[in-house]
């Protein structure tokens, strides 16, 4: 039997519970795993690991919600509730901030300006989208001359499984939950095992504003053999939206083939930055510095390969080096902290293995390459130095594979065509950022880069109504604005003989 935990989670238990059918639930058998701070290794708490019974209860609760008041609620009331969710996140801003920073170790300044505000905005944006959506209609002739009217209606997909990564936990989870609920679906969310807190906190928000029970559920655990796989294999899940590594996407696609169920995938990247000699130099250095090092390099859209036109190559390398060296690692609450830790020691070992590989493959280490010296409790955190290399062959694993750390390799180029070829020479196709003041070149190059989003003189800037997703191995499908309706609703045709 699942054990419901009444009341606010922090008052009742140090264990982070699942959130099922409007209640906090500890898994039967009491299985838990540790949640540790990446900043200092301290134990934040235990997390209740959902098993088969809890995942099944969550999926059934979601199905029941669709058959209950949520399923019959009109879009106007639903969108009012989503506005209320956003307002309540903002009212509890400091709670969400504290939870996100505890789980990730990222600087307050970053989470305060990106993660939490976007977490709230995702509900409002998609509420607005569904309020204004129209469908097509066609009048057709019939032999009796009376004609017929065809029109399309959109219905929710049903129960959507939402599998999330750890790098921008609330932002990326709400980026899926916002449109799913706006379209009238019910969700079962499996947050990353590294970052369970804000998804759980969102359950309290859902209850507070009156979202019917069972509409939003959270099950905690890992991937294979745990809550992630159990959720993706559950026959009561109608569609799966996933953000994470490309190889995890492959495993989830196999699970989704049973049914089969629709998938929407936002996967890994090995993104290029292309800097032309005619760029605004300071802006380009600043932009590439953010693209390579923001969130300690743990951004799928980050830039790990930088191509710089030869006349400004040496100057650019030195300028980016200065930026990297000015980023002070430190306590998340310290206003002077410029860079947080990686998510875990395990992930740091992976990133460090690429730091070693770069040296093995003949890189010149321009800066970084190791672990910074941290004082006191911070010495137990997963800190790492922002790192820049030059001189690697394009065949090196450091250039080919996603590292997901604060690092980049800088390579010179001589011609526009060469830069485009280098940028496209990857199995991934998520994002590219190009820097030039030549407008004609900007449009010409952007059109030839095989990615879901190409920034010109900017990075991580995006109107949420635009399509977002990856080409090649970086994803399947597009979400954002009305494009999200393609995945979160099913279009049906009604043909009325007049
Ligand atoms: P991950 O693939 O290891 O894990 C993501 C989620 O999938 C976690 O919740 C995990 O528990 C779950 N999972 C793992 N194996 C599973 C399985 N077999 N079945 C079901 N669930 C499973 O990714 P991560 O390490 O958490 O995140 C980093 C990766 O995410 C990077 O590759 C990054 O590029 C990618 N990412 C992509 C985007 C995008 O928009 N394209 C955004 C953020 C992160
Ligand atoms: O901005 C977004 O909506 C989005 N999906 C960002 C993805 C960031 C990857 O780490």
| Residue nearest ligand 2's atom 7 by CA | 300
164 CA → ligand 1 middle, Å: 6
Give residue-wise pLDDT tens across range 94-104: 999 999 999 99
Percentage of the chain modeled with pLDDT above 70:
97
Q: Is 300 annotated in the active site?
A: yes
Do 255 and 235 form a contact (C-beta atoms < 8 A)? no
141 CA → ligand 1 middle, Å: 51
pLDDT computed for residue 9 by the predictor: 35
| C-beta 175 within 6 A of ligand 1 | no
Of the listed 300, 408, 411, 454, which one is catalytic? Answer: 300
Do 101 and 332 form a contact (C-beta atoms < 8 A)? yes
Ligand (nearest to CA of 264): 1
- pLDDT exceeds cutoff 60 at 414: yes
| C-beta 468 within 6 A of ligand 1 | no
Place of tokens 């209640």: 23
- pLDDT exceeds cutoff 60 at 2: no
Q: Is 136 annotated in the active site?
A: no
Give residue-wise pLDDT tens across range 15-59: 999 999 999 999 999 999 999 999 999 999 999 999 999 999 999
Do 92 and 117 form a contact (C-beta atoms < 8 A)? no
Please give the Cα distance from 278 to 275 (Å, whole number). 8
pTM comes to: 0.96
**For all residues of the chain together, what is the average pLDDT?**
96
Give residue-wise pLDDT tens across range 164-188: 999 999 999 999 999 999 999 999 9
Average pLDDT over residues 205-209: 98
Q: Which pLDDT band, with edges at 50, 70 and 90, does 14 fall under?
A: confident
Average pLDDT over residues 337-351: 98
- pLDDT exceeds cutoff 70 at 426: yes
Ligand (nearest to CA of 484): 2
| C-beta 172 within 6 A of ligand 1 | yes
> What is the dihedral angle through the alpha carbons of 403, 408, 413, 419, rounded to the nearest 10 degrees?
50
Please give the Cα distance from 57 to 214 (Å, whole number). 10
Average pLDDT over residues 186-215: 98
């Amino acid at each position: 039997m699942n054990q419901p935990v009444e009341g606010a989670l922090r008052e009742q238990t140090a264990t982070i519970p699942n959130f099922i059918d409007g209640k906090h639930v500890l898994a039967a058998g009491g299985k838990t795993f540790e949640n540790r701070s990446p900043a200092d290794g301290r134990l934040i708490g235990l997390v209740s690991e959902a098993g088969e019974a809890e995942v099944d209860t969550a999926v059934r609760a979601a199905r029941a919600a669709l058959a209950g008041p949520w399923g019959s609620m009109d879009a106007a009331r639903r969108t009012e509730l989503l506005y209320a969710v956003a307002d309540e996140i903002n009212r509890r801003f400091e709670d969400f901030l504290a939870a996100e920073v505890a789980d990730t170790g990222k600087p307050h300044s970053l989470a305060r300006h990106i993660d939490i505000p976007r977490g709230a905005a995702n509900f409002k944006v998609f509420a607005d989208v569904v309020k204004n959506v129209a469908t097509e209609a066609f009048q057709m002739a019939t032999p009796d001359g009376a004609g017929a009217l065809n029109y399309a209606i959109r219905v929710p997909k049903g129960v959507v499984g939402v599998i999330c990564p750890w790098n921008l936990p609330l932002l990326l989870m709400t980026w899926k939950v916002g449109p799913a609920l706006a379209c009238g679906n019910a969700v079962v969310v499996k947050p990353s095992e590294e970052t369970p807190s804000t998804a759980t906190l969102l359950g309290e928000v859902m209850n507070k504003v009156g979202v019917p029970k069972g509409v939003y559920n959270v099950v905690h655990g890992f991937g294979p053999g745990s809550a992630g796989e159990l959720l993706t294999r559950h026959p009561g899940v109608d569609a799966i939206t996933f953000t994470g590594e490309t190889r995890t996407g492959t495993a989830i696609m196999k699970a989704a083939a049973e049914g089969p169920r629709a998938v929407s995938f936002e996967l890994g990247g090995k993104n290029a930055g292309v800097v032309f000699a005619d760029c605004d130099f300071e802006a380009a250095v600043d932009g590439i510095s953010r693209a390579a090092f923001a969130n300690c390099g743990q951004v799928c859209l980050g830039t790990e390969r930088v191509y710089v036109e030869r006349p400004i190559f040496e100057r650019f390398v030195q300028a980016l080096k200065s930026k990297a060296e000015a980023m002070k690692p430190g306590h998340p609450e310290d206003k002077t902290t410029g860079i947080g830790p990686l998510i875990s020691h395990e992930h740091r070992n992976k990133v460090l293995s690429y730091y070693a590989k770069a040296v093995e493959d003949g890189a010149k280490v321009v800066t970084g390459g190791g672990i910074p010296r941290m004082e006191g409790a911070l010495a137990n955190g997963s800190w790492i130095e922002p790192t820049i290399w030059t001189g690697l062959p394009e065949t090196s694993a450091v250039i080919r594979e996603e590292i997901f750390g604060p690092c980049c390799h800088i390579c010179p180029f001589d011609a526009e065509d060469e830069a485009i070829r280098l940028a496209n020479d990857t199995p991934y196709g998520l994002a590219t950022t190009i820097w030039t003041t030549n407008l004609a070149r900007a449009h010409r190059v952007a059109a030839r880069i095989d990615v879901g989003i190409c920034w010109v003189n900017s990075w991580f800037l995006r109107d949420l109504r635009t399509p977002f997703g990856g080409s090649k191995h970086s994803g399947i499908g597009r979400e954002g604005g009305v494009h999200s309706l393609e995945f979160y609703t099913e279009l049906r045709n009604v043909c009325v003989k007049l």
